[in-house]
Amino acid sequence: MPYAFGNGDRCQGQAAALRLRQAIARTEDVTRERTPVGRHPEEADDVLGTFATDGALGFDPFPFLRALHAAGSRAVVIGQVAGIMHGSTELTGDLDLLWDGTSDEADALRDALARCGCTELPALSREQVGYRVTGAGGDLCTVPNQ
């Protein structure tokens, strides 16, 4: 999924994607010997965050990000993945997205979720709802209807 910048900022977008790829590789290295304990991202602690949960095991948001792009989604990456793309070195185990709440965007999200193995589509009528696809999980957030 392209990282949105203004004209002429393609290098910044490539650098952001590279930082995310490096973080995913580090996550894989650090969690290689870790066994699942049944701790989900919503049970994250205040110090290590979702990196200490099972969500970090096999974490790779790129397939879902590509599916979002292919579906025409305009969802925005937020949370720690956005932090990593901007230079944070703290690792994560979830991918949080902000979307505009429109029916067109909901259709794009449903399409991308289904493409990536989501068998239980989340209730997109809620302001914040969790999701899980192969390689990633997190929250889909939108602003309340005004």
Q: Quick one: pLDDT at residue 35? A: 96
CA distance 50 to 59: 11
**Please, where are the H alpha helices in the chain?**
10-31, 62-70, 79-85, 103-115
Report the chain's mean pLDDT, rounded to a whole number.
Answer: 91
pTM: 0.88
Q: Quick one: pLDDT at residue 145? A: 65
Residue pair 51/90 in contact by the 8 Å Cβ criterion? yes
Segment (H or E) for 129: strand 128-133
Q: Quick one: pLDDT at residue 68? A: 97
Would the pLDDT of 1 be above 50? no
Would the pLDDT of 146 be above 60? no
Would the pLDDT of 40 be above 70? yes
Give me the long-range contacts of 24-32 (CB less than 8 A, separation at least 24).
Answer: 24/59, 24/60, 24/61, 24/62, 26/91, 27/51, 27/56, 27/59, 27/91, 27/92, 27/93, 28/58, 28/59, 30/91, 31/56, 31/57, 31/59
pLDDT tens for each residue of 46-97: 888 999 999 999 999 999 999 999 999 999 999 999 999 999 999 999 999 9
pLDDT tens for each residue of 91-139: 999 999 999 999 999 999 999 999 999 989 999 999 999 999 999 999 9
CA distance 112 to 117: 9
Residue pair 75/119 in contact by the 8 Å Cβ criterion? no
Would the pLDDT of 29 be above 50? yes
Q: Quick one: pLDDT at residue 45? A: 86
